[in-house]
Amino acid sequence: MAITHLLLDIEGTTCPVSFVAEVLFPYARQALGPFLQRHGAEPEVAALLREVEAAWRQDPHPEAQALGKTGDLGAYLEWLIDHDIKLTPLKDLQGRIWADGYGSG
């Protein structure tokens, strides 16, 4: 019998959903700058940052457009986190930040 589906994780099954909102998201926001300083030049992370930058140019939110005048991609990422905006490259970055945090204890 061939495997047709693979279930990796459903939010709230390995930890309470509140843990995600109260611990993981704030941790990712706080660790974002240091993570980007350490890993921003890595090809996979740099590609994600280019995707975020491209999304930023298309973002219709006035607040996001105002941030565009600063050119501060980190500030835009923080804005996305603060507004719980689901952007695939951001979610990938958050996952990498969490993995980095768990890996370093």
| Surface-to-core class of residue 101, CB atoms within 10 Å of its CB (0-12 exposed, 13-18 middle, 19+ buried) | middle
Query: Beta-carbon neighbour count of residue 40 at 10 Å?
Result: 14
- Rounded to the nearest integer, the mean pLDDT of the chain is 90
Distance CA(48)–CA(93), nearest Å, equals 7
Cα–Cα dist 93/45, whole Å = 7
Q: 104: buried, middle or exposed (CB in 10 Å: 19+, 13-18, 0-12)? A: exposed
Q: Bigger pLDDT: 69 or 43?
A: 43
12 or 101, higher pLDDT? 101
CB 31 within 8 A of CB 97: yes
Q: 48-88, pLDDT tens digit by residue?
A: 999 999 999 999 999 988 887 777 899 999 999 999 898 99
Residue with tokens 């590609």: 47
19 confidence band (pLDDT: 50, 70, 90): confident
For residue 20, the tally of other CB atoms under 10 A from its CB is 14
pLDDT the model gives residue 105 = 83
Give the pLDDT score at 12: 64
